[in-house]
Chains A and B, each alone.
Chain A
Amino acid sequence: MSSSPLLGQVEPLKTRMHAEFSSDPTWLLERRSAALDRYLDAPLPSRPRTPLRNRRLDEVPVFDAEPVLHSSVWKDLEPESSRLSLSGAAVMEASLSAEAKQKGLVFTDLRSALSSHEHIIKPHLDRSLAAEAGKFDALNQAWWQNGAFIYVPRHVHLAVPLTVVHHQSPEQSGFFPRTLIIMEEESELSLVDLYMQSGTGDPVRCIASILVQAVLGPSAVLRYGSIEELSPSTEAFVHRTANLEADAEAHWNVGTFGSALEISSQNTYLRHSGSQNHSVSVFFGSAHQHYDLEVQSVHQGTHTKSNIVGKGVMKGRARSVFTGVTDIKHGAVGTDARQKEQTLMLSDQARADAIPSLLIEENDVFAAHSASAGPVDRNAIYYLMSRGMTEREAVEMIVEGFLAPVIDSISLDDIRRRVWAAVREKVQE
């Protein structure tokens, strides 16, 4: 399949898409086709601090190799009772605890769910994205091969977290994972998305577009974790969105460690009273990595709450932009909205920008933000070295101390462990 069309080649792309997805239901194929048109028409995402024009993103082939599956990829995963592992379109592993099955929870790959739960998927699949869908959302909507689908019925609480592994072999050039979460009233779910490109092949330049959509019914509680550890030759576009009914809660724990470039948006809509958004983003940039991360909380209902935390460590020649947006609409009385952004700078060649913005149309609110950036405390290093540590060990300890308050607050054991592992790997890099 070396003749894969490039992302900028209009007619070959269309032909290839129809061939690739000819077995899809008609409605889906129509949507893919419309999404492809949107992708081709839409301008590049507008991030003033991350110019994309010169990256020639349209010269990347959409798929240029058959996936090569390596069983060794799964070795580091611990045995779990509820896990879905996807590699390209293929389902490598799908297990769900008997307890969950019995409660009526659906945890399956999106492609199978198309036949088993079409009536749920069809209305939700693209709807919640409509408001702010950009070029690369459309790219995913056109080309997604498979993904995860989770449906939690009313009053179902699941104690054990579900894990989704979105894997792709590194010699493939397009990666379009997606996750769709539908939660009914008073349900509770913990879910972890892991994004990885590992294997024995030589990595090629890859465009990844990742979509995560969550729909939370009244009083539903979602604990969501994700870790991005994509290959250093990948440029990733990530969009997470959640719509919350009254008294629902979204808890985001997102770790960004991989890829050459990541542009992300996370939009949480608190349209109904009493809903809450708690977001923790941890990022660690090294070498020439460039992260432009945006976390937005939109308050429309009354007495809603949000807390956005961004915590980053920058080394090498890495560059980060962290934008928090607290958007309080007129009528959202009693809103309590907070933001906190902190960056630890380990290198003079690194650069970190923070834009913690508050957009407020209502007076009966409390809104606050704080941001800080600074170096490793030299006195602390001196102290630790006087206690027999090497400078390197001292720096590692200080980085861990800096991140500990946010990482240790992550309630999902698995994601917390993985974030720590990723941080240690980055520190020692």
Chain B
Amino acid sequence: MKKKSINAIKLGLFVLAGLSLLIFALYLLGKNKTFFGNRFELKAHFRDVNGLLVGNNVRFSGIDVGSVQSIRIVNDTVIEVTLNLNREIKSFIRNNAEASIGTDGLIGNRVVNIEPKGGSTPFVNGGEMLPTREEVRTEQMLQTLSKTNQTVAKISEEVLATVQMVRNSSELSSLLNDKTLSYNLRASLQNLHTTTKNASVLMENAVSTFKLASEGNGTIATLLTDTTLALEVRQLVTQINTLERSADRLVKDLNGVIESVEKDINQGEGSVNALMRDSVMADRLRATIENAERGTAAFAEDMEALKSNFLFRRYFKKLEKKAAKEKEKELSN
């Protein structure tokens, strides 16, 4: 009988160990699930759940706080995901927290991320609809990447072409390979450097000179500081002013002379007017001119008579022939 009771104890221990392990394991597994009442629900609408499954984890700021309870298709563009969350987290999730579907690691399970957005909106009560954000999908990312790649390829082609052009251009390469250029450039820079150095020395000298001058020694200083000189200059200026005034007067006098001359001419006094206004003399001049005209006409008659004279006829004919010949020559040309 004694042996039997020892057996029973061992057997009991053995069975109890097995059972307690089983219960413990089931409890641990149930901790993540809706097993006890300490849970509440939130909902979120997505357009694409990206392979999310019932039972996937829900994270609030990276902490596991629950799991996906159900995924239901509402219509062709809306999928309702019900989240089952730990009650303890209720006093931390605000109404404006954003739900999004992400991945645990690079190739891990899908997770629903709830991200707090701050502000002072009220905390959730359970059953609310959370705003959602669509995550960038890998395919979309790859599409954008391929577009970028194409652009980069184009750019690199063009850069290559440019580089080849630069390489093929003899002028540019000779410019680049020219060693004297760099030497000259360096020399120029050196000169510039010395010039600026000299300039600065000059400036320093100038500054010291001005300083000396303002301190009151030498001719410049007296020039700059002498008050009597300024008085003389002022007197000079006033004299120049009076000179100008007398010149003005001279011009006025001249004007008066010219005006009196004009008056003389118009009103018929003095020798000039007499010269201009003598009508007798004008008549005489006209008669003289008429006589001259008559004389020339008579001369022309005499000349015609001379032409028809047999002594001079031959000469005139010769002249006519010569003129005709020249005219013909001109026409033929």
Do A and B make up one complex?
no
